[in-house]
Structure 1
Amino acid sequence: MTQALPLSTRVLVIGAGAMGSGIAHVAARAGHTVYLYDMSAEAVARGRAGIEKDLRFLVSKAKLSEADCAATLERVLPVTNLTDARDAGLAIEAIVERLDVKQALFKQLEEALPADAILATNTSSLSITAMAAPLARPQNVAGLHFFNPAPRMALVEIVAGLATDPAIADTLYATAKAWGKVPVHAKSTPGFIVNRVARPYYAEALRVLGEQAASPATLDALLRDGARFPMGPFELMDMIGHDVNFAVTRSVYDAYFGDKRFTPSLIQQDLVLAGRLGRKSGQGFYAYGDAAAKPQPDVLPTQPAPTEVIVEGELGPAKALIPRLEAAGIPVERQYGDGQLRIGNAVLALSDGRPATIRAAAEETPNLVLFDLAFDYATTPRLAVAKADQCSDDAFDAAVSVLQAAGIAVSQLDDVAGLIALRTVVMLANEGADAVTQGVASAADVDAAMQNGTNYPKGPLAWAQHIGFARVVLVLENLGAHYGEERYRLSPWLRRQAAAV
């Protein structure tokens, strides 16, 4: 079993900004002597002061002793000349995201450090293969991608280029784990794991917004409350900055030679062109500032509770709605059927990826109302619904009353395929599955990366398994048929999993 670098190994961190100083913090707390380098002594001083501030905060919260705080700080040694760190066994660069600049730095490091020193890059997007190509010892180069802020974010992507020695990648994996992180292995491909697999979280929300199905505040609330993502996509894009988020999407799209799966959004492009970059500019999808009112999600008015609900067949992932209704005192009758709820002449069913209007016509069920995916139907406080154009207002109200009787706030979307949570989750799973198919990462590492790098409530592939691979495949096939776009092509890995059940 590969061992972590011993604590006697000195670590050189190049770049004393927020990312570099955060990495230095992590390595020093783990027990390594850390050289913190930047081109200016002032930048190094600021970086070290930032580390001290973070450590003092931990002391104030009784999460670190004064002695450990002092010892950690003593292990952070400021340097302004790379030759002062010539005995470092691991160098981690966290400088500007330019390939030529990083290549030049690694050439310097090859000359200054021991021949067996590991050269690691914290790049989030550049090719490890290209970065290492000009070097005499490209096998010593690997990605060590921390997430910001490094002391608090658990995930570290260990990224191997074409020439990376597997033993180097394994050593970095063991070292990151010894530092208290959650490491995952990834192959050097555009976006690695997280920045690639996360693209549908933004893309599907932007697509639904573009179809005028609901407001950003409503869609954010549904994904946050119903699917339990930590932030809605629009508030998250506003926080990241639309210039940054749009640039990452463009970068991944271009790197994959225009793969339609990663097509950037015209809506987001317009925000960037208008200078509406989000929080940092005071305006994005939302307005910011003391006088700005926070938009509220649209919620349907409360309807009288139903006198009886008939459950026809099995509800699959939504089966927890039944005991929830019973606990609310709603009489529930069970009958054979296709997996739906009947309230008088109204039918309420979980979406299968088709718009309600199309499905109602195909199944000759005019009074059809579809509801969205929830992370946990036993506790979800909010759900989206969509009504077929053929559905009467009375039937719609009756269907909505069932969910409201279970204590769920209901938001209506226009009749968009796959609603919002369902299409988002299956597309995240589809992208994660393609990463597995292409050898970028294992299924376990995809799930670990998305949970620890983005705080998703469940890894996308584990989520697909929970929903049922066959159901996920059906939804993706229906989305593909509806839009007729390459964007919704089905990953071979998902199709294989569905067939193996």
Structure 2
Amino acid sequence: MTALDLSSPVAVVGTGTMGQGIAQVALVAGHPVRLYDAVAGRAREAADAIGARLDRLVEKNRLTGAERDAARARLTSAETLSGLAGCALVVEAVVERLDVKQELFRALEEVVGDDCLLATNTSSLSVTAVGGALRIPGRFVGLHFFNPAPLLPLVEVVAGAATDAASATRAYDTARAWGKTPVACADTPGFVVNRIARPFYAEAFALHEERAADPATIDAVLRESGGFRMGAFELTDLIGQDVNESVTHSVWQSFFQDARFTPSLAQRRLVESGRLGRKSGQGWYDYRDGAERPEPHTAEPAGPPAYVVVEGGLGPAAGLVGLIREAGIEVREESGAGAGSLVLPGGGRLRLTDGRTSAGLGGVVHFDLALDYRRAGRIALAPAGTTPPRALAEATGLFQALGKKVSVVGDVPGMIVARTVARIVDLAYDAVDRGVASAADVDTAMRLGVNYPLGPVEWGRRLGLRWVYELLGELRRLDPSGRHAPSLALHRHAHVSDAGEGTPS
């Protein structure tokens, strides 16, 4: 079965921001589109709004005037559900309530033909549960677009337990024909993106609650060292704290309160106080007129060490050795067993965080993971309370000599980037092994859906799965709640990678 023919009418039910976006995508692709909303007059208003956006596309030379006029002629609004009769596809984008969606689709089945494909845009509900109300559940799929739908390429195509293969294939091919990048996934809580992305928010909030650093510093480290486009605090302020927390809570409950998805008490307090982010004027940050954005903690300049002794291998941070040489600092290399260290002239030791605390290793200074140490603009350091001032000063001066800003954070296991990325990698491998999606689709989804600099499966391969697994193992030892427990999938693949075999498919 192939994509819907362009002559086939497509209906969108629910004409809020997402519904309008989906309608615009189908319209620009060439379909006749019918809009319906339960609130009288809203479908007509939505049609006008879409028409105005088509005008802007002409102004930006993305559509010709003739294409706009033809698209407008194909766009109509329906006053009742019966006006959707004859449609080949109906996409629902109404409120995220199971009872509302089930009632809607039961009513739609009385109107459309038996060969009409029915789709929900739900981001948090079970596709199987919504489709369970249908007389013909095999034709029901999830088509999860990302907001704004006309701009973001990703669509998660979700097959429920009763969805037949032909319907899932037709939905997938149709999304691709619309210029989107579809990924096929199973009907599990959060699908791909909202499942695997949870640690990005959860670890940042936990670090804040642990007093490791303030939001501005954590965000800066995630951006400038981790390579993420936005930090977790600024991103959730943009999304809306209520929206982000609702998704987290839904995934947590759907996984029967699995500790890996535990919501944040600090975020709950924000929502309870009405500080929802940009839309309310306050969230983690203050967006009111005249408010100043706090700056991340940045260490004062310190002199570079005269030399560095490299003991053992540095694992994912091995590229630092070349950068230190390029900065004109003498490098002396010595073989050694165990975790690699950079030994400073004053006797201090720098180590890449491995999930342990600096205090637990006798006062070493840990440094955080970076996506690319050459391109990183900031590095986080975590000294122990007993670390001599000279050791911290030399560690700071070393990274500053490499052109990096330095943020000194609390002595927490796994620091900021390392524990965040490790947990994302773990959930990605777990999802692949459980058949949620293929490794390629997981990486595609996370790059396109949430703008990750690397897909997490590839990221894990680059870091070394044994390193990721052992870091999470140390975190679990210090926090036995199960929040950081590595999955059986990661355990398996870490040992497989040791044997030189490939990544999951």
TM range, normalised to the smaller chain? over 0.9
* Per-residue CA distance 1:309-363 (angstroms, 9 max, x = gap): 22223322222222322222222232223422122112111111111111x23xx
Query: Pairwise mapping of residues 269-288 of structure 1 onto structure 2 (< 5 A)?
Result: 269-288=268-287
* Per-residue CA distance 1:114-172 (angstroms, 9 max, x = gap): 11111000011111111111221010111001011100011111111110001111111
Counterpart of 2:41 in 1: which secondary structure?
helix
2:471 aligned partner: 475
Taking the aligned partners of 1:448 and 1:248, their CA distance within structure 2 comes to 21
Taking the aligned partners of 2:458 and 2:57, their CA distance within structure 1 comes to 34
Taking the aligned partners of 1:327 and 1:66, their CA distance within structure 2 comes to 56
Residue 41 of structure 1, CA deviation? 5.0
Q: Report the TM-score when normalising by structure 2.
A: 0.95
Counterpart of 2:202 in 1: which secondary structure?
helix
Taking the aligned partners of 1:68 and 1:312, their CA distance within structure 2 comes to 65
The runs of at least 4 consecutive aligned structure 1 residues that moved more than 3 Å come to none
* Per-residue CA distance 1:262-319 (angstroms, 9 max, x = gap): 1111111111222222222222111112210000000111111222222223322222
Query: Pairwise mapping of residues 342-361 of structure 1 onto structure 2 (< 5 A)?
Result: 342-344=343-345, 345-358=347-360, 360-361=361-362
1:182 paired to 2:220: no
2:230 aligned partner: 231
Q: Report the TM-score when normalising by structure 1.
A: 0.96
Q: Bigger shift: 249-258 or 372-381? A: 249-258
Taking the aligned partners of 1:474 and 1:426, their CA distance within structure 2 comes to 10
AA in 1 matched with 2:148: P
Question: Over aligned residues, Cα RMSD in angstroms?
Answer: 1.4
Uncovered stretches (5+) of structure 2, i.e. residues with no partner = 498-505
Residue 466 of structure 1, CA deviation? 0.9
Query: Pairwise mapping of residues 87-106 of structure 1 onto structure 2 (< 5 A)?
Result: 87-106=86-105
Residue 40 of structure 1, CA deviation? 4.2
365, 371, 380: which is aligned to 2:376?
A: 380
Query: Pairwise mapping of residues 29-178 of structure 1 onto structure 2 (< 5 A)?
Result: 29-40=28-39, 42-178=41-177
* Per-residue CA distance 1:420-460 (angstroms, 9 max, x = gap): 00000011111222222322222222211111111111111
2:500 aligned partner: none
Taking the aligned partners of 2:452 and 2:52, their CA distance within structure 1 comes to 29
2:195 aligned partner: 196
424, 437, 444: which is aligned to 1:441?
A: 437
Taking the aligned partners of 1:331 and 1:68, their CA distance within structure 2 comes to 64
Counterpart of 1:184 in 2: which secondary structure?
strand
Residue 84 of structure 1, CA deviation? 2.4
Residue 468 of structure 1, CA deviation? 0.6
Taking the aligned partners of 2:273 and 2:76, their CA distance within structure 1 comes to 44
Residues 333 and 288 of structure 1: CA distance in aligned 2, closer, same or farther (over 3 Å): same
2:502 aligned partner: none
Taking the aligned partners of 1:61 and 1:136, their CA distance within structure 2 comes to 45
Taking the aligned partners of 1:409 and 1:31, their CA distance within structure 2 comes to 50
Taking the aligned partners of 1:96 and 1:102, their CA distance within structure 2 comes to 8
Counterpart of 2:184 in 1: which secondary structure?
strand
Contact 2:126-2:187 at 8 Å conserved across structures: yes
458, 462, 465: which is aligned to 1:466?
A: 462
Taking the aligned partners of 2:351 and 2:53, their CA distance within structure 1 comes to 50
Taking the aligned partners of 1:17 and 1:214, their CA distance within structure 2 comes to 38
Taking the aligned partners of 2:72 and 2:352, their CA distance within structure 1 comes to 55
Q: Size of the alignment, in residue pairs?
A: 494
Residue 13 of structure 1, CA deviation? 0.8
Contact 2:105-2:133 at 8 Å conserved across structures: no
Contact 1:321-1:406 at 8 Å conserved across structures: no
410, 419, 423: which is aligned to 1:414?
A: 410
Taking the aligned partners of 2:422 and 2:79, their CA distance within structure 1 comes to 49
Q: Bigger shift: 212-221 or 485-494? A: 485-494
* Per-residue CA distance 1:24-44 (angstroms, 9 max, x = gap): 100111111111112345211
2:341 aligned partner: 340
Contact 1:437-1:492 at 8 Å conserved across structures: no
Taking the aligned partners of 1:329 and 1:73, their CA distance within structure 2 comes to 64
AA in 2 matched with 1:444: A
Taking the aligned partners of 2:132 and 2:103, their CA distance within structure 1 comes to 11
Taking the aligned partners of 2:426 and 2:471, their CA distance within structure 1 comes to 11
Q: Bigger shift: 110-119 or 65-74? A: 65-74
Residue 52 of structure 1, CA deviation? 2.1
AA in 1 matched with 2:349: V
1:295 aligned partner: 294
2:399 aligned partner: 403
Residue 192 of structure 1, CA deviation? 1.3
Counterpart of 2:122 in 1: which secondary structure?
coil
Taking the aligned partners of 2:49 and 2:151, their CA distance within structure 1 comes to 14
Taking the aligned partners of 2:223 and 2:41, their CA distance within structure 1 comes to 41
Contact 1:306-1:405 at 8 Å conserved across structures: no
AA in 1 matched with 2:464: G
